[in-house]
A and B are shown apart, each in its own frame.
Chain A
Amino acid sequence: MDRTERILDLVALLLDAREPISWAELREHFPADYGGSDDAAERKFERDKAELVELGFPLTYVQGDDERRDGYIVDRDAYYLPEADLTKEELAVLYAAGSAALASGVFPGRDDLAHALRKIGFFAGQSLPTPRVRMELGAVQEGQVKEVSARLEQLWDACAARKWVEISYASPKHPNATQRRVDPYGLALRRGVWTLVGHCHLRGGLRTFHVHRVRELKVNTARPRTPDFHVPEDFSLDSHVAYFPWQHRFHEPVEVVLRLSGTLASRASGLFPGATLEPMGEGLTLAKLRVSFLDGLARFCLSLGADCVVEGPESARSRLREMAARVANRHADALEGKVTA
């Protein structure tokens, strides 16, 4: 019998049973499948049982007594999906976000997500909202979507089962890809880029890796149901992955003050989330923020134009001036005249 068919038969049998079903009975019911030697039959059933548990099937073994015999039984109440009673708004947000993430092509746990959406939509019937939110995530180039998607799926499984992965990582900073063993702690999405955070055995510490820079990936297949590592209790993805270029943890953080004018003044909170803002009137806003990568901030400020001025400290002011002077001088012939920083 086909394995899918056998497992579905088991589901139907166990969902219908009022009494525990013993292993001997199961062997009688499925003579062709659980025939052969005791060892082989038991191994086969163990694999089927593991599959049932993976499916969320609440299978338990009860030890018999005078009133009841030994065997397997299922808690039916725990099996069936109850109605979650989601309001229209709640369903809309789950559905819009889930569909958009799925359609983006790159979201970890895509299969899981697709099933979850089907299940939460089960009771909604025709009233399911049409998602009008789209997301293009993660992949750096269009051709990479498939590869990044496959890597995310492998990493999702490895994170869930806590199995180490072996990766070949191509950082733009280094000419050659490096081979590393990593304990994957989690995945974070920042500005369209997926980052893997984990313990890197090569560097002996926590490291972050952009998933689109992973060239090859193998998940440890040994002892699949035994975790290879523990994630520290106090670990949080948020404290290891930067949202903005100035948050990369390259230096000791310093407080930088920016003066925003023109259209930037009213957009300050969107441009620098988390910054302390002081409106100064007349279309001026001061923004104070903690910066651990000054060059990242300088480049961002430069792209905002003359309405974004660094007030201090002097190290940040001079860095931005140096960069601006360099750009101006590289293009000086178009206007003529060199500038000094």
Chain B
Amino acid sequence: MSNVHERLRRLLFLVPYVSKNPGVTVEALARALNVSREDLLEELDLLTCVGRPPFNPDDYIDIYVDNDRVYVDLDQRLFAPPRLTAGEAAALAASAELLRPAAGDALQSALQKLERVLPPHVRERYREMYRKIDASAEAPQALGPLTRAILERREVTFGYASPGRPAEPRQVRPYELLSHRGQWYLQGFCHTRQDSRLFRLDRMEDIVITDTPFVLPPDARADVPNPARSRSEDSVRVRFSPVAAPYVKERFGQDARPLADGGVEVLVAGDSERWLTQWVLSFGGEAEVVEPVSARAAVARAARASIGL
């Protein structure tokens, strides 16, 4: 996509936006358009030269900054943005699919309304493009109530099945939902543990939105779960066969140390024995824990248990 095209799209939105929000600060406008303050001021300069022939004084767009706020006096009929293009509508609809199972009827009706605001000649093209991105349906049902609880700032209760243990009741202030590599997590403050916690959505049962309100802390942000993040004395050394090595290298990059036999070795955080065991088992015999012995034993026990020993 050319720079001219991007710039035009931005400018055709900028004028109506200021027209609708007179006195918007330069800062807020730059944020809304995702450009720097300097770039925005340049764009505003350009717009003052835009108008229609015969280019009398009244034929120009009259847009100006006063006391760090932006106003437009003459918008030259640019008082509303152009309709969505087929590409814009298709990208929006495809992204909305990410939340489909959680969004229920709201998504369906939103997409219908979206289609209605497309110019008729664009609709067919939109439908064709929409078929070309499929980002659908990995979101679990629990996203629906949890999204609502986050928006309404209400605490939730649910049963949480930690691996190997029966479900335990939790009361949580829900802050943020995070999808990482297709796995969904809720980040929030857990009253039961008196600490910030990340919960996997697929381990929650019987979610209830309570009437207990809470205040969202400004810095609530979930950390992405990353097994390679914390190297410490507890790190576990895992070795992979030459068959698995290319896939491990793909994920760990430089952190995967090549071995003489064509395999690779990585160091991963050893703070969750359960996670580590599951992960090693998922390679079906192409991975081996080198040390510590306790982790080796855990993997051996889990593998034996799978065949009833």
Spell out A's residues near B (CB within 8 Å). 2-5, 7-9, 11-13, 15-16, 29-30, 51, 54-58, 78-82, 84-87, 89-94, 96-98, 100-102, 107-120, 122, 125, 129, 132-137, 140-141, 143, 153, 156-157, 159-160, 172-173, 185-193, 212-213, 236-238, 241, 243, 263, 266-267, 270-271, 295, 298-306, 320-328, 330-335, 339, 341
A324–B304 contact, CB under 8 A?
Answer: yes
19 contacts between A and B (CB under 8 A): A5-B46, A8-B47, A15-B78, A29-B53, A51-B4, A78-B83, A111-B9, A116-B89, A120-B114, A125-B20, A132-B147, A156-B87, A160-B87, A187-B133, A191-B181, A266-B161, A266-B205, A267-B202, A335-B297
Given A135-B179, A341-B307, A109–B90 Cβ distance below 8 Å?
Answer: yes
Number of interface residues of B (CB under 8 A): 126
Given A122-B17, A271-B202, A84–B117 Cβ distance below 8 Å?
Answer: yes
> Measured between alpha carbons, how far is A264 from B180 in the docked complex, in Å?
22
A303–B52 contact, CB under 8 A?
Answer: no
B8–A4 contact, CB under 8 A?
Answer: yes
- Which residues of chain B from 108 to 161 have a CB within 8 Å of any chain A CB? 109-110, 113-114, 116-117, 119, 121-122, 129, 131-136, 138, 140, 143, 147, 150-151, 161
Find the B residue at minimum CB distance from A159.
Answer: B132
B180–A136 contact, CB under 8 A?
Answer: yes
> Measured between alpha carbons, how far is A80 from B92 in the docked complex, in Å?
19
B98–A101 contact, CB under 8 A?
Answer: yes
A118–B84 contact, CB under 8 A?
Answer: no
Find the B residue at minimum CB distance from A296.
Answer: B284
> Measured between alpha carbons, how far is A184 from B297 in the docked complex, in Å?
48
Q: How far is the CB of A325 from chain B (nearest CB, A)?
A: 6
> Measured between alpha carbons, how far is A115 from B11 in the docked complex, in Å?
11
Find the B residue at minimum CB distance from A77.
Answer: B119
A136–B224 contact, CB under 8 A?
Answer: yes
- Which residues of chain B from 250 to 302 have a CB within 8 Å of any chain A CB? 250-253, 278-285, 288-289, 293, 296-297, 299-302
For B85, list chain A residues within 8 Å (CB): 54-56, 112, 115
A172–B87 contact, CB under 8 A?
Answer: no
* A-B contact sample (6 more), CB < 8 A, given A263-B165, A267-B161, A322-B285: A55-B9, A81-B81, A136-B181, A140-B251, A327-B280, A330-B285
B92–A324 contact, CB under 8 A?
Answer: no
For B208, list chain A residues within 8 Å (CB): none
> Measured between alpha carbons, how far is A341 from B309 in the docked complex, in Å?
11
> Measured between alpha carbons, how far is A339 from B306 in the docked complex, in Å?
12
- Which residues of chain B from 176 to 207 have a CB within 8 Å of any chain A CB? 176-183, 202-203, 205
For A118, list chain B residues within 8 Å (CB): 13, 17, 32-33, 81
> Measured between alpha carbons, how far is A80 from B20 in the docked complex, in Å?
14
Over the window 87-110 of chain B, the binary record of Cβ atoms lying under 8 Å from chain A Cβ atoms (1 yes, 0 no) is: 111111011111100010011011
Which of A101, A156, A213 is within 8 Å of B95, CB to CB?
A101
For A56, list chain B residues within 8 Å (CB): 82-85, 119, 122
A331–B91 contact, CB under 8 A?
Answer: no
For A187, list chain B residues within 8 Å (CB): 132-134
Which of B151, B183, B307 is within 8 Å of A324, CB to CB?
B307
Task: Summarize A's interface: helix, strand, loop or mixed.
Answer: helix
Q: How far is the CB of A234 from chain B (nearest CB, A)?
A: 11
Q: Is B6 an interface residue (CB 8 A)?
A: yes
Find the B residue at minimum CB distance from A319.
Answer: B284
Given A172-B246, A237-B131, A334–B300 Cβ distance below 8 Å?
Answer: yes
Q: How far is the CB of B242 from chain A (nearest CB, A)?
A: 11
Find the A residue at minimum CB distance from B11.
Answer: A8
For A341, list chain B residues within 8 Å (CB): 307
- 6 smallest beta-carbon distances between A and B, as pairs: A191-B182, A172-B246, A326-B285, A109-B91, A90-B110, A29-B53
A157–B1 contact, CB under 8 A?
Answer: yes
For A306, list chain B residues within 8 Å (CB): 302, 305-306, 308
> Measured between alpha carbons, how far is A30 from B76 in the docked complex, in Å?
18
For A54, list chain B residues within 8 Å (CB): 5, 85
For A333, list chain B residues within 8 Å (CB): 296
> Measured between alpha carbons, how far is A193 from B250 in the docked complex, in Å?
13
Which of A122, A137, A153, A263 is within 8 Å of B20, CB to CB?
A122
> Measured between alpha carbons, how far is A173 from B243 in the docked complex, in Å?
9
For A328, list chain B residues within 8 Å (CB): 300, 303-304, 307, 309
Q: Is B16 an interface residue (CB 8 A)?
A: yes
> Measured between alpha carbons, how far is A96 from B97 in the docked complex, in Å?
11
Q: How far is the CB of B104 from chain A (nearest CB, A)?
A: 9
Q: How far is the CB of B146 from chain A (nearest CB, A)?
A: 9
Given A185-B132, A187-B132, A133–B284 Cβ distance below 8 Å?
Answer: no
A12–B307 contact, CB under 8 A?
Answer: no
B117–A81 contact, CB under 8 A?
Answer: yes
B147–A96 contact, CB under 8 A?
Answer: yes
> Measured between alpha carbons, how far is A272 from B283 in the docked complex, in Å?
19
For B106, list chain A residues within 8 Å (CB): 87, 89-90, 92-93
> Measured between alpha carbons, how far is A109 from B135 in the docked complex, in Å?
13
B281–A302 contact, CB under 8 A?
Answer: yes
Most buried by B among A12, A79, A186, A301: A12
B129–A160 contact, CB under 8 A?
Answer: yes
Q: How far is the CB of A86 from chain B (nearest CB, A)?
A: 6
> Measured between alpha carbons, how far is A272 from B33 in the docked complex, in Å?
42
> Measured between alpha carbons, how far is A1 from B53 in the docked complex, in Å?
13
> Measured between alpha carbons, how far is A299 from B293 in the docked complex, in Å?
23
Given A2-B46, A109-B91, A191-B138, A324–B116 Cβ distance below 8 Å?
Answer: no
For A270, list chain B residues within 8 Å (CB): 140, 202
For B94, list chain A residues within 8 Å (CB): 108-109
Q: How far is the CB of B210 from chain A (nearest CB, A)?
A: 18
A90–B82 contact, CB under 8 A?
Answer: no
A9–B82 contact, CB under 8 A?
Answer: no
